[in-house]
Amino acid sequence: MAKPKYKRVLLKVSGEALLGNGNNSMDPDTVSEIAGQIKEVADLGVEIAIVIGGGNFWRGTSASVNGIDRTTADYIGMLATIMNALGLQNALEKHNVTTRVQTAISMQEIAEPFIRRRAVRHLEKKRVVIFAGGTGNPYFTTDTAAALRALEIDAEIIFKATKVDGVYDRDPQKFKDAKKISRLSFSRVLNENLGVMDSTAISLCRDNNLPIIVFDIRVPGNIKGVIMGKDIGTLVSKG
């Protein structure tokens, strides 16, 4: 039986990925399907940490454009990530996966505070750890939180789970002739502003040689596929 390519990974799940095809902010069937994919990988013994976004409920940047104070808007977005984390935790536990939610904003009645050593210990015990609340600071995205947490727990790679099957030279939803890029360097992402992650997250990954794979989470089996080392999505590395 083939072995996973990675021992410890960080999975970045966008809030939009939880929408499914409906208008619900968190589609139960979609969340359950994602949880099932994560269980497949957890059963292989891979140590999995997850950073989850909140865009299905709230986007701080968009709200600030519409007149809400940016700091306030970002804090509301952090709370949205915590709602998503609890929803994913519930779905994972229905699949008999042991989990812990850790938040950058203290709310001890529903989740643990983020403590690096405790998070690593949970991972060593094969618990899935979900990091919520971003970095706990306004003006930083959950992409940056994913890069930061991945480095703190010594993850080997970041898997960015999205609704597209990789990175394109331009928006594939607007341009039919957009071309998928299989391999990218951090420098090209920054220089061409390709939107893989925000520039702070990409710079963190570049400076610490932490690779990223961008892939489509909607395809069943894709999470297991990327962790097994299959050629799925777009790899961003030093190149």
CB-based contacts of 107, cutoff 8 Å, min separation 6: 82
Are 12 and 143 in contact by the 8 Å Cβ rule? The answer is yes
Say whether pLDDT at 212 is over 80.
yes
pLDDT-derived band of residue 2, with 50, 70 and 90 as boundaries?
Answer: confident
Using the 8-state DSSP alphabet, how is residue 24 labeled? -
Say whether pLDDT at 133 is over 90.
yes
At residue 71, the pLDDT reads 92
For 94-211, list the strands marked E by DSSP.
99-103, 112-113, 128-132, 158-162, 167-168, 180-181, 183-185
Q: Note the pLDDT tens digit of each residue in 32-48.
A: 999 999 999 999 999 99
Radius of gyration of the CA atoms of the chain, in A: 17
Averaged pLDDT of the chain: 92
pTM equals: 0.92
* Cα-Cα-Cα-Cα dihedral sign, residues 181, 185, 186, 189: negative
Q: Note the pLDDT tens digit of each residue in 41-70.
A: 999 999 999 999 998 887 766 666 677 899
Say whether pLDDT at 1 is over 90.
no
Distance between CA 134 and CA 54 in Å, rounded?
Answer: 9
Are 180 and 171 in contact by the 8 Å Cβ rule? The answer is no
- The domains found in the chain, sorted by start residue, are 8-237 (3.40.1160.10)
Backbone angles phi, psi at 63, to 5 degrees: -65, -35
Q: For residue 99, which amino acid is it? A: T
Are 156 and 7 in contact by the 8 Å Cβ rule? The answer is yes
pLDDT-derived band of residue 24, with 50, 70 and 90 as boundaries?
Answer: low
Mean pLDDT of 189-206: 92
Distance between CA 160 and CA 17 in Å, rounded?
Answer: 11
At residue 60, the pLDDT reads 65
Question: Helix (H, G, I), strand (E, B), or coil: what is residue 196?
Answer: coil
Distance between CA 56 and CA 101 in Å, rounded?
Answer: 19
